[in-house]
Amino acid sequence: MRTRLARSVAVSGLLTAGLAASASAQALTVISFGGASGDAMNTAYYGPFVEETGIELTPGDYNGELSRIRAMVETGNVSWDLVEMESPEMVRGCFEGLFEPIDWQRLGLGDVLIDSAFDECGVGTFVWSTVLAYDADALDAAPTSWEDFWNVEDFPGTRGLRRGAKYTLEFALMADGVPNEDVYDVLMTEEGVDRAFAKLDELKEHIQWWEAGAQPPQWLVAGDVVMTSSYNGRIAAAQEEGNNLEIVWDGSLYDLDYWAIVSGSDNVDEAYQFIEFASQPENQAVYSSEIPYGPVHPDAIDQLDEEQARRMPTHADNLEGALAINTGFWVDYGEQLEQRFNAWATR
Give residue-wise pLDDT tens across range 228-268.
Answer: 999 999 999 999 999 999 999 999 999 999 999 999 999 99
pLDDT category at 316 given cuts 50, 70, 90 is: confident
Whether 9 shows a pLDDT value over 50: the answer reads no
Whether 12 shows a pLDDT value over 50: the answer reads no
Assign domain 4-127+256-310 one CATH number from 2.40.50.140, 3.40.220.10, 3.40.190.10, 2.40.30.10. 3.40.190.10
Q: DSSP E strands: which ranges in the chain?
A: 28-32, 57-61, 82-86, 123-135, 159-162, 207-210, 227-231, 245-261, 294-295, 323-324
Whether 329 shows a pLDDT value over 60: the answer reads yes
Per DSSP bridges, beta strands 123-135 and 227-231 are antiparallel
Whether 2 shows a pLDDT value over 70: the answer reads no
Instruction: Please tell me which residue, 26 or 72, carries the higher pLDDT value.
Output: 72
CA nearest 113: which of 284, 303, 231, 254?
284
pLDDT at 108: 87
Tell me the three-class secondary structure of 286-319, residue by residue: HHHHHCCCEECCHHHHCCCCHHHHHCCCCCHHHH
| Torsion angles phi and psi, residue 236, rounded to 5 | -60, -40
pLDDT category at 3 given cuts 50, 70, 90 is: very low
User: Average pLDDT of 263-277?
Assistant: 98
User: Average pLDDT of 196-200?
Assistant: 98
Q: How far is CA 110 from CA 122, 130, 178, 195, 257, in A?
A: 15, 30, 40, 45, 19
Q: How far is CA 304 from CA 99, 246, 309, in A?
A: 33, 22, 6
Ranges for all domains in the chain classified under CATH 3.40.190.10: 4-127+256-310, 129-254+316-345
pLDDT at 26: 79
SS3 49: helix
Q: DSSP E strands: which ranges in 53-122?
A: 57-61, 82-86
User: Average pLDDT of 261-290?
Assistant: 97
* 8 Å CB contact between 256 and 116: yes
pLDDT at 314: 87
Superfamily of domain 129-254+316-345: Periplasmic binding protein-like II (3.40.190.10)
Between 24-38, 70-84, 197-211, 229-243, the lowest mean confidence (pLDDT) is in 24-38
pLDDT at 25: 54
Between 17-26, 103-112, 139-148, 278-287, the lowest mean confidence (pLDDT) is in 17-26
For the chain, give the mean pLDDT: 92
Percentage above 70 pLDDT, the chain:
93
Whether 14 shows a pLDDT value over 80: the answer reads no
pLDDT at 172: 98
Q: How far is CA 55 from CA 58, 99, 111, in A?
A: 10, 22, 26
How is residue 45 annotated by DSSP?
Answer: I
Instruction: Please tell me which residue, 284 or 314, carries the higher pLDDT value.
Output: 284
Tell me the three-class secondary structure of 139-171, residue by residue: CCCCCCCHHHHHCCCCCCCCEEEECCCCCHHHH
22 Cβ neighbours under 8 A, 6+ residues apart = none
| Torsion angles phi and psi, residue 317, rounded to 5 | -65, -35
Interatomic CA distance for residues 172 and 253, integer angstroms: 13
